């Protein structure tokens, strides 16, 4: 199963993405991830979620090959709605979400991480939003939660990546550890949260979302509208075909 979810005795629920070869999630995968996070929030035994991944990297975004194999706009609409649902599920999960990232965290991966409450990374982790190169727009909303405005614009417009270690100075990544220590580091932070009174923590999460200066759900949905325009103009198909042809 690409998405698995297991709650531990201490109230930490571990949600894992495992979609070889690069954790580029299919349309169904994004909805499955959203469902797993929604289920975690409904379960009163869950005190905190650790969102992690197996394989070469944390997440490579949308499965572009699936999109190019599908005629019409069904896969595009599905990916838009699936990503929206998954990002929203992270942000609105009633309990805190700790993201544990390794290797690459690209596109949709940044959407997930940018909406998390805490980020721990391995020393090989890097982040980027290659949407402009793929003829799509999105996740600037979430990248803006990780880096200052002008750096966000530079990364977004150039498609450059940034090491997770560089984000520690910006305060968006809590700590960077060797790859073999990543799960332990994420579980340690999650354990601190899980040890608190869950009634207070759930209310604190709700309060923190309520005072956010940007409505991340509406902001991301606005970005997606430009993706649809680029697709209708034929630009996105052309660039995705080039990307698939390079593989």
**Structural domains in the chain?**
3-180+198-246 (3.90.226.10)
Residue corresponding to tokens 């990546």: 161
Cα pseudo-dihedral 149, 151, 154, 155, rounded to 10: -110
Q: How confident is the model at residue 247 (pLDDT cuts 50, 70, 90)?
A: low
Burial 144-155 (b: 16+ CB within 10 A, else e): bbbbeeebbeeb
Q: How confident is the model at residue 1 (pLDDT cuts 50, 70, 90)?
A: confident
β-pairing, 24-25 vs 61-62, is: parallel
Q: How confident is the model at residue 240 (pLDDT cuts 50, 70, 90)?
A: confident
First to last CA, the chain: 25
Answer whether 49's CB lies under 8 Å from 40's CB: yes
Answer whether 165's CB lies under 8 Å from 141's CB: no
- In this prediction, residues 177-196 reach a mean pLDDT of 98
- Residue 183 zone, left/alpha/beta (φ > 0; ψ -120 to 50; rest): alpha
Q: 109 phi and psi, to 5 degrees?
A: -60, -40
Q: Is residue 25's pLDDT more than 90?
A: yes
Q: How confident is the model at residue 231 (pLDDT cuts 50, 70, 90)?
A: confident
- In this prediction, residues 169-176 reach a mean pLDDT of 97
Between residues 136 and 179, the one the model is more confident about: 179
Q: Rounded CA gap, 96 and 116, in Å?
A: 8
Q: What is the pLDDT of residues 88-116, one digit of tens each?
A: 999 999 999 999 999 999 999 999 999 99
- In this prediction, residues 217-222 reach a mean pLDDT of 97
Answer whether 67's CB lies under 8 Å from 38's CB: no
């Amino acid at each position: 199963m690409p998405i698995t979810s297991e709650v531990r005795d201490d109230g930490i629920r571990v949600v894992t993405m495992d979609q070889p070869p690069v954790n580029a999630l299919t349309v169904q995968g994004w909805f499955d991830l959203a469902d797993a996070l929604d289920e975690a929030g409904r379960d009163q035994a869950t005190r905190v979620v650790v969102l992690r991944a197996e394989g070469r990297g944390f997440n490579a975004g949308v499965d572009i090959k699936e999109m190019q194999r599908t005629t019409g706009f069904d896969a595009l609409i599905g990916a838009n709605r699936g990503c929206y649902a998954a990002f929203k599920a992270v942000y609105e999960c009633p309990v805190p979400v700790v993201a544990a990232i390794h290797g690459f965290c690209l596109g949709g991966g940044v959407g997930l991480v940018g909406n998390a409450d805490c980020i721990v990374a391995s020393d090989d982790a890097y982040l980027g939003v290659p949407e402009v190169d793929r003829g799509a727009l999105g996740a600037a909303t979430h990248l803006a939660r990780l880096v200052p405005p002008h750096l966000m614009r530079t990364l977004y417009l150039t498609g450059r990546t940034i090491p997770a270690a560089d984000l520690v100075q910006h305060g968006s990544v809590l700590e960077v550890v060797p790859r073999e220590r990543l799960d332990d580091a994420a579980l340690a932070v999650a354990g601190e949260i899980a040890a608190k009174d869950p009634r207070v923590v759930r209310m604190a999460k709700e309060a923190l979302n309520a005072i956010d200066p940007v409505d991340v759900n509406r902001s991301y949905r606005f970005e997606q509208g430009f993706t649809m325009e680029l697709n209708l103009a034929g630009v996105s198909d052309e660039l995705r075909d080039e990307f698939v042809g390079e593989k």
